[in-house]
Structure 1
Amino acid sequence: MIDWSHVQQLCLEVGAEDFDEVVELFFEEVEDTLSRLEERNDTASLAADMHFLKGSALSLGFSEMSQLCHAAEKSAENGASDGVNIGAILQVYSASKQEFLADYRVKLAA
């Protein structure tokens, strides 16, 4: 679910002292977007939202979520937004977040 080598590289790039802020901003922005997706059924912006989520997830090593969002983005771009499973994306995000928060300090210290 998590690409820990990518997380370690990101931490090195931004610095350990700023990494928690990056993580906090990631969760805030992703959760805002996911909430917006749950609250409305706006297929017009679905591809753009999936593109944002895909890139955000990839940037913090949430590899499984990024893959789901990539597939959803392509579906939305091809006019098949009915096939986008927001629930599956939410479920993978929740599991990824739980794993990340449980392990990231240990993984970064290794």
Structure 2
Amino acid sequence: MLIVETEAKMINWDRIEDLRTDIGEEEMAEVIDLFLDEVEQALSQIGTAPDREAAAHFLKGAALNLGFSRFAAECLVAEQTCHAHPPARVEIAPLRHGYGVSRQGRLPGPAGRAPPPAQIRNSARISSSVMSR
């Protein structure tokens, strides 16, 4: 599993590449756009959601599906907090920060979203060709 690290394990590029391989480049752009829309909507409503634990769980699953490791970790903390203390208030600031940092120019595909760094793409190809020998 290849994960790019900066402040924390932020993006799981292997997951993104697996998803792209599974669904194709065109559908990948649609999945990313849908993900961004759904996360923005969920983040705006999570503080007042009747079931904050389920909302945090949804966000965690969406984040993991798209390889947003850091954001998924923040969502897990919110989910666990809501589970342990049902009336607990979800701290939205860490969720927004984790999402923002993960999203900031790091998604692959169109609209100026950057692909994985070249050294990561190249090392993955090299590893793959070496492993197949």
Contact 2:54 2:79 in 1 (8 A): yes
Q: Specify every segment of 5 or more residues in structure 2 that has no aligned partner in the other structure, as ranges.
A: 1-9, 108-112, 122-133
Deviation at 1:53, TM superposition (A): 0.2
Query: Does residue 103 in structure 1 map to residue 109 in structure 2?
Result: no
| Match 2:31 to one of 22, 37, 62 | 22
Q: Does 1:92 align with 2:98?
A: yes
What is the aligned partner in structure 1 of residue 83 from structure 2? 77
Q: Counterpart amino acid of 1:85?
A: E
RMSD: 1.9
TM-score with structure 1 setting the length = 0.84
Distance 2:25 2:15 in 1: 14
Amino acid at match of 2:27: D
In structure 2, how many angstroms separate the alpha carbons of the residues matched to 1:105 and 1:21?
18
Q: Which residue does the alignment assign to 1:56?
A: 62
Higher relative contact order (CA 8 A, sep 6+): 1
- Matched residue, 1:41: 48
Structure 1 stretches of 4+ with a deviation exceeding 2 A read 101-107
User: CA, structure 1 residues 19+105, in 2 after alignment: closer, same or farther (shift >3 Å)?
Assistant: farther
TM-score normalised according to structure 2 size: 0.70
Give the total of aligned pairs: 104
Higher CA-based Rg: 2
More helix by share: 1
Q: Which amino acid aligns with 1:91?
A: H
